[in-house]
Chains A and B, each alone.
Chain A
Amino acid sequence: MSSTTATAAPPALMTLAPDNWKLAILVGLAVSVIAAITFPASVSFWIVGAMAALVAAAFVVNAFRRKYYGGLLVAPAIAVLFVMNIFPLLWSLGLSFFAYQSNNQSIRFVGLNNYIKALTNDLAAEANWNALVNTAMFVVFTVAAQMVVGFLLALLFAKQFPLRKYLLILVLTPMMLSVVASGVFFTYYYDPTFGILSYIMGNITGEQFILMDNKLGAVAGIVFADAWMWSPFVMLLVLAGLVSVPKYLYEAAAIDRVSGWRQFWTITFPYIRGLLMLALLFRTIEAFKLADLVILLTKGGNDTMTISYHLIRIANEQNKTSEGAAISYLMLFMVIVLTNLYLYLANRRSHGA
């Protein structure tokens, strides 16, 4: 204890001081354990919460007395993220080693069985694998479409012209729609009997046009709707890059009679590459979560089941909570590996250039 001499002397372990966070942790832990044993979960949660608040208060006073502003400022954010993200994650990690269904009281330790089932069971593993392949397909198609459309839209708005502000908000609106409404309306646009698409196609070809009755059409329909909604996001990022290119670079290029194509690759592209990478990262993460549009448009039919929707079915509709948790963890592992790989490659490229 004496070896940790800070600038201002920390309180001794047993002194009752408002900044004695070590004592607060000890008391908090003891009270929490006792509460968890003696009271039902709904009561003990609040006692544990109060103890956490006590420890936090001690930390705050301690940090304030020692001018430890960094910790002080960051603490509330870390606390909220811990309660709402990190703690639930640890909970579900634990749960994935048990056999537990949310509509059933019994809980039984099964070790790695949920993971083994998710990976090797004939039926379950095949469904998981299939959903994963479909998700990868959606990620590639939706992200590619969004990047291209968003990029082209950004090029349109990269100059100052009259009424620009009003036209820009028109293009941004799809992003603001609730996916419930826009998704349901896309079922109308695609509807074989009443839909606008079928009406137009029917007038051209003379036969009834059904978009969603095969996998190709169903995928195209979902990709189109998703790309339409989220291309504006890519557009905003790219546009922010385009407007930040210093004007004198273009003026210098004009004097040197550099061709438009070369101007783009040597001047514009370096400025927007970081933002393109960021847009790619954000949209890929989002596309991995694709579920709502699939639920609304196909309900997973025509082989369009995604891993996210598959998880919703298992965990929420079939109440197989711990099995869902195991699949979540396999998925989480994959997302983190992919993200790190991506960030590593992106960093290496930007350092190399």
Chain B
Amino acid sequence: MSSSASFMERLGFRKASGVGEAGWGRTLFVAVIAFIYFIPVLFIIFTAIKPQNLALSVPPTLSPTSFFGLIPDQYVFSPTLENFGSVFSRSMTTGGAPEDTGFDRYFFNSIFISSVSVGLALIIGTLAAFGFSRYPLKGNDTYLFIILTTRMLPAIVVIIPIILMFRTVGLSGSYIGIILLYTAFNLAFTIWMMKSFFDELSLDVEDAARIDGSSEVKVFFKICLPQVVAGLAATFVFGLILTWNEFLFALLLSGADTRTVPVAMNQAVSSGGRGTDWTLLAAIETLFLIPVFLVTFFLQNHLLRGVTFGTVKR
């Protein structure tokens, strides 16, 4: 009993929650459904290791192995790692020498822009959330609603003036412009989520520390912040997923040097009028999925708690 309880706690559940236990039967049942749900992703990953000439074969090739004769031979292809190489270097013209595609740069851009803007939004947003939670301003709720409203706006409503603004001041195509934009894009979400976490904390410990003479800065860093690490992790994951795959802003506002992978991917697979390069697209997406997949996997424990926005009371 105690071992299972601690296991559940490691998964982010509290002891008295309504999570019942189920056995391997449930595992099998869920595995089948999760696998079916995962098939389109699996197909993309398998396409990434497919020889290019088999991408559009009829009948479609489905798997790199026959799984001990489970899959008929006509659906099986022999895997290759060539596509991953051609993400970074391939011949752009027929018969030409392999050229650098610049994708190392685009991967760097995606990682750099996403992590800086999500991190920045986390810092600014957490401070603001602490302010909204502990030192309510006059008209606190109005401020919070306006902040939420910026999240409600469709991206397309703000994008026209932002394009104009960036063109006017020379920010289009710069790191600063796109990072600031993504920071704002993540802020509303961060503030609301982190505020709900601060609201849930007990004030007794903080007040005791204040009476003992701790400064407000110390109260924030030594007492409040350690208690909301789960919330920080969850906010980071959600912000990362949204920013990582953002396409519209990146398409319209990033330049040749600051292009992110989604934009570059879109151009790479449809350039030259040869139609979609399926194996290349799959290889790019597979590589592109790995970082965000790993981050989500390792922070998954916090996701379930963080996602509640505090609407679920303890």
Contact = CB atoms under 8 A, between A and B. Distances in A.
A6 interface: no
B271 interface: no
A21 to B, nearest CB: 16
A351 B181 CA distance: 37
Which of B17, B156, B188 has the most A CB atoms < 10 Å from its CB?
Answer: B156
Contacts of B228: none
Given A156-B30, A176-B241, A181-B281, A89 B131 contact: no
Given A85-B153, A240-B305, A159 B17 contact: no
A240 B230 CA distance: 14
Nearest to B240: A176
A237 B155 CA distance: 23
Secondary structure class of chain A's binding surface, majority of residues = helix
A102 B164 contact: yes
Nearest to A325: B160
Interface stretch (A11-19, A22-30, A187-195): A187-195
A77 B158 contact: no
Given A176-B293, A177-B285, A236-B303, A80 B187 contact: yes
A321 B163 CA distance: 10
Interface string B121-139: 0001101101110111100
A169 B41 CA distance: 12
A102 B11 CA distance: 52
A92 B164 CA distance: 9
Given A72-B131, A74-B131, A336 B18 contact: no
B137 A70 contact: yes
A95 B60 CA distance: 51
B149 interface: yes
B135 to A, nearest CB: 3
Contacts of B11: 160, 164-165
B209 to A, nearest CB: 15
Contacts of B137: 70-71, 74
Given A70-B137, A74-B143, A176-B245, A88 B165 contact: yes
Secondary structure class of chain B's binding surface, majority of residues = helix
Contacts of B4: 160
Interface string A324-349: 11001101100110010000000000
Given A74-B132, A177-B285, A180-B262, A160 B8 contact: yes
Contacts of B99: none
Which of B26, B154, B181, B184 has the most A CB atoms < 10 Å from its CB?
Answer: B154
Given A74-B132, A76-B128, A271-B312, A243 B60 contact: no
B191 interface: yes
A89 B30 contact: no
Contacts of A91: 161, 164-165
Interface in B148-191: 149-165, 168-170, 180-181, 183-185, 187-188, 191
Interface in A254-286: 268, 271, 274-275, 278, 285
B284 to A, nearest CB: 7
Interface residues of A, number: 104
Interface in A144-164: 153, 156-164
Nearest to B123: A76
Which of A78, A285, A321 has the most B CB atoms < 10 Å from its CB?
Answer: A78
Given A174-B41, A189-B40, A83 B150 contact: no
A241 B18 CA distance: 10
Interface stretch (B31-39, B79-87, B100-108, B200-208): B31-39
A217 B295 CA distance: 37
Contacts of A308: 154, 156
A250 B11 CA distance: 21
Contacts of A241: 308, 312
Nearest to B31: A167
B95 to A, nearest CB: 26
Contacts of B256: none
A239 B11 CA distance: 13
Interface string B244-257: 11011000100000
A211 to B, nearest CB: 15
A247 to B, nearest CB: 5
A332 B37 contact: no
A189 B27 CA distance: 29
Contacts of B34: 167-168, 170-171
B128 A73 contact: yes
B157 A161 contact: no
Interface of A: 41-42, 45-46, 69-74, 76-78, 80-81, 83-89, 91-92, 95, 102, 153, 156-165, 167-182, 184-189, 193-196, 199, 228, 236-237, 239-250, 268, 271, 274-275, 278, 285, 288-289, 291-292, 308, 311-312, 315-316, 321, 324-325, 328-329, 331-332, 335-336, 339
8 contacts: A84-B183, A102-B164, A160-B20, A176-B245, A185-B47, A239-B307, A315-B159, A316-B252
The 3 closest A-B pairs by CB, nearest first: A73-B131, A70-B135, A84-B184
Given A81-B150, A194-B56, A237-B307, 4 more contacts: A77-B191, A160-B22, A165-B11, A177-B44
